Amino acid sequence: MNLFLTENRYLRFASFAVFYIAQGLPIGLISIALPAWLAQEGIAAGEIATFVAISSLPWGFKLLAGPVMDRFSFLGMGRRRPWVVAAQFGLLLSVASMSLVPDPVQNVLLLTWVAFLVNCFASVQDVAVDGMAIDVLPADERGRANSFMAFGQVAGYSVSGALCATMLITFGVPGAAVMLTAGLGIIFLWGVIVRERRGEKILPWTDGQASERSIELQADNWGSIARNLNRVLFLKVSILLIIVTFSWRVAAGFWLVSAPVIAVQELGYESTDYSYWTSTFGAIAALLGLLLGPVIDRIGAKHIFFLALIGLGITFLLTGLAVPFWSMAYFPLVVLCCESFFGQAIFISFIALHMTICWNKVSATQFAIYMAWSNLARSIGASIYGEIQPNLAFGQEFIIMGFIVLSGAFVLSFVRLDKHEEYLQELDGVVLEK
């Protein structure tokens, strides 16, 4: 059976979808089901904001993992796969440990730090999987592959969010944690049997050896990583996209806290209803997102990214201006639906665009910096919302979110990819020190 990523296109698509499901499963619990459940249990918006901000922090510090992965690996098992397998095993154990938190409603701080630990392993796996994708995906497959990756993550957190919402009501945090542990165990086995290149080891004690390509790309010292990263990180395109990312993700931090609090505490939705609707729209958006992959490969990720940012920004602005309609039965669902669809388009094109501007020599470090910044910005947004929420009138948070997202779209309009891609080709054409 051909289970080598570099030799099988469909295995690549399937594997990256599965690995992103592994990231989505804990997101469904920590970012969807638990905030809504805590809101229903009467926990204040500020305390929920603290839970979201702290538990999300590991996604903001992924840049610490990138250089380590570019510098060290057990190449006999592949350049990125050893990190994927190790992170998945840690994720498995940390999710299981959530079942040991006593009386989570009375120990929200302890629950927060266990969730923080879960996201530490999830974020490390994310860096490893993204680095693997940049290494093994041909350029003309990245749009389609990213649509499968985004589908996997959304499918993971949609299913997890819906099921965990029920498990939290019925069996509490231990029941939800045990359920997720079982799912992560299956994905861990997938990571063990799928290899990057022919001839590599399945496990450290099995037969196999490092490929020439892995040896060629692996850095020999920290200095070479820093010098090579400096060649690409501070280019104009890179800086502009960092600004765009900050705008979009700060608004995402606002949404992550405000949506469940408003839905449950202000509009009277049950936490299970909120989680179900979020998961349902997310799953549908993920399926439709698969259609975006070929479009991105054909017309470019930047165009889809720009249009989706405009759509999301307008959605937020109209929501903030339409407060009298919030009490209508279907209006909140329309908003949730629009956020899901535009958010999915943004996510797919965002990942594809940043993979395009990365250089293989330091791909894990460079991409991890972009993704870490993205998630750190979301935590910053959640923290800011927790501070200013008591001073906001009904709907003002959505107006703020709309202007922030639209400002990101404005900056994106100045991004020019052609010269950046030519520069990367020039770098690949010269011999650089390792």
Question: Do the domain assignments include residue 434?
Answer: no
pTM of the entire predicted model: 0.71
- One digit per residue, the tens of pLDDT, for the chain of length 434 reads 568 888 888 899 899 999 989 888 988 888 888 888 888 877 877 788 788 878 888 876 776 777 777 777 788 888 888 999 999 999 999 999 988 888 888 888 888 899 999 999 998 898 888 888 878 888 777 777 878 887 888 788 878 887 888 888 888 888 888 899 998 999 999 989 898 888 888 888 888 887 777 777 666 677 777 888 888 888 889 899 999 999 999 998 888 778 887 777 777 777 777 777 877 887 788 788 788 778 887 888 889 999 999 999 999 999 988 888 887 778 888 888 889 889 888 988 888 888 888 887 777 778 878 887 887 888 788 888 878 877 877 778 899 999 999 999 999 999 888 888 777 777 766 544 43
Question: What's the first-to-final CA gap in the chain, in angstroms?
Answer: 35
Determine the structural domain holding residue 97 and report its residue range: 5-428
What per-residue confidence (pLDDT) applies to 285? 82
In a domain, residue 183? The reply is: yes
pLDDT reported for residue 29: 87
pLDDT of residue 94: 92
Return the CATH number at 415.
1.20.1250.20
In a domain, 154, yes or no: yes
Question: CA-based angle 352:353:356, to the nearest 5?
Answer: 90
Conformational region of residue 389, where left means phi above 0, alpha means psi within -120 to 50, and beta covers everything else = alpha
**Count of residues for the chain?**
434
Two tokens at 158?
């949609």
The pLDDT of residue 64: 76
Taking each helix axis as running N to C, give the angle between helix 45-60 and helix 236-261, from 0 to 180 degrees, rounded to the nearest 10.
Answer: 150
DSSP string, 351-400: HHHHHHT--GGGHHHHHHHHHHHHHHHHHHHHHHHHHHGGGPPTTHHHHH
Burial of residue 103 (CB within 10 Å: 0-12, 13-18, 19+) is exposed
pLDDT score, position 434: 38
Whether residue 236 is contained in a domain is answered as: yes
Residue 433 lies in a domain: no
SS3 annotation, 240-276: HHHHHHHHHHHHHHHHHHHHHHHHHHHCCCCHHHHHH
Q: How many domains does the chain have?
A: 1
Query: Domain for residue 320, yes or no?
Result: yes
**pLDDT the model gives residue 431:** 40
pLDDT at site 51: 85
Q: What's the token pair of residue 15?
A: 């594997």
**Helix spans in 194-235 (H):** 212-217, 222-233
